[in-house]
């Protein structure tokens, strides 16, 4: 079990205005308006077009984070962690592959961490290794998955004028992505059981 007895899981909403990423972006936008001496109408028009352009990513990120909260509060993440913990010591090798899969599906390391960080931490506690290590492995595995993310491939092809060649780029990058993820898995396993002094 994850805990020795049933415990109420407090659902606390906390919005820290100063540490939120959006606050820094808002301040930067306001300073840019002043610095560039933009007319209020131009600023509002720019804001509207930016919001329209980012509508789909905002929706996508919102849905991923909503699913992550549901997974964590419903116990889904803990249940999956208990199941994965049955793989024992082998899980440290496969831990980065969860992050890799998360970024492939969502296109974002942040979203992958939102989905799988709690799962990784719980699984780490169950198999007796550092939760910091496996959460870091999730992030690192996510970075290796970025090169095969459909969104990243589409953007890369569009940027260099290779629209329509996405499948060719995917076939090329998937081999490197898997090799890098395997290397991260080996390093994670070594840090878990041999090079334990490297983990704070």
pLDDT at residue 97 is higher than 80: yes
Which backbone phi and psi does 62 adopt, to 5 degrees?
-60, -40
SS3 16: coil
Q: What is the residue whose two structure tokens read 């799962």?
A: 119
120-171: per-residue pLDDT in tens? 998 998 999 999 999 999 999 999 998 888 878 887 887 787 778 888 888 9
Tell me what pLDDT residue 4 has. Answer: 60
Confidence of residue 14 (pLDDT cuts 50, 70, 90): confident
Q: What is the rounded average pLDDT of the residues 29-53?
A: 89
Dihedral angle over CA of 116, 122, 184, 140, nearest 10? 40
Q: Report the C-alpha gap between 181 and 119 in whole angstroms.
A: 19
By the 8 A CB rule, do 78 and 122 touch?
yes
pLDDT at residue 3 is higher than 70: no
Q: Alpha carbon 180 to chain centroid distance? A: 17
- Give the rounded percent of residues in the chain with a pLDDT score beyond 90: 30
Which backbone phi and psi does 187 adopt, to 5 degrees?
-60, -40
Per-residue tokens: 79? 């249940």
DSSP class per residue in 34-51: HHTT--HHHHHHHHHHHH
Q: What is the rounded average pLDDT of the residues 34-53?
A: 89
Confidence of residue 108 (pLDDT cuts 50, 70, 90): confident
160-180: per-residue pLDDT in tens? 877 788 888 889 999 999 999
pLDDT at residue 183 is higher than 90: yes
pLDDT at residue 92 is higher than 90: yes
Q: Which residues lie below 8 Å from residue 22, measured CB to CB, with a gap of 6+? A: none
By the 8 A CB rule, do 115 and 71 touch?
yes
pLDDT at residue 39 is higher than 80: yes
Tell me what pLDDT residue 178 has. Answer: 94
Domain boundaries, the chain: 19-53, 60-198
Q: Report the C-alpha gap between 143 and 54 in whole angstroms.
A: 23
Tell me what pLDDT residue 32 has. Answer: 92
Tell me what pLDDT residue 1 has. Answer: 53
Q: Report the C-alpha gap between 89 and 51 in whole angstroms.
A: 46
Q: Which residues lie below 8 Å from residue 71, measured CB to CB, with a gap of 6+? A: 77, 115, 118
- pTM, two decimal places: 0.73
Confidence of residue 5 (pLDDT cuts 50, 70, 90): low
Q: Report the C-alpha gap between 120 and 109 in whole angstroms.
A: 14
DSSP class per residue in 145-182: HGGG-HHHHHHHHHHTT-TT-HHHHHHHHHHHHHHHHH
């Amino acid at each position: 079990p994850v805990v020795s007895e049933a415990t109420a899981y407090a659902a606390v909403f906390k919005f820290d205005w100063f540490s939120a990423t959006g606050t820094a972006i808002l301040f930067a936008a306001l300073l840019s308006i002043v610095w560039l001496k933009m007319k209020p109408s131009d600023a509002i028009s720019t804001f509207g077009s930016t919001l329209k352009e980012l509508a789909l990513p905002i929706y996508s990120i919102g849905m991923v984070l909503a699913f992550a909260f549901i997974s964590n509060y419903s116990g889904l993440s803990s249940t999956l962690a208990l199941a994965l913990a049955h793989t024992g010591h082998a899980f440290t090798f496969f831990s980065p592959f969860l992050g890799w899969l998360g970024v492939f599906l969502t296109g974002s390391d942040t979203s992958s961490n939102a989905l799988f960080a709690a799962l990784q931490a719980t699984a780490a506690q169950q198999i007796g290794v550092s939760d910091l290590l496996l959460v870091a492995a999730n992030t690192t595995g996510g970075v290796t998955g970025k090169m095969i993310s459909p969104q990243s491939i589409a953007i890369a092809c569009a940027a260099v004028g290779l629209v329509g060649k996405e499948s060719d780029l995917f076939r090329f990058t998937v081999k490197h992505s898997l090799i890098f993820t395997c290397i991260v898995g080996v390093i994670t396993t070594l840090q878990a059981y041999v090079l334990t002094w490297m983990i704070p």
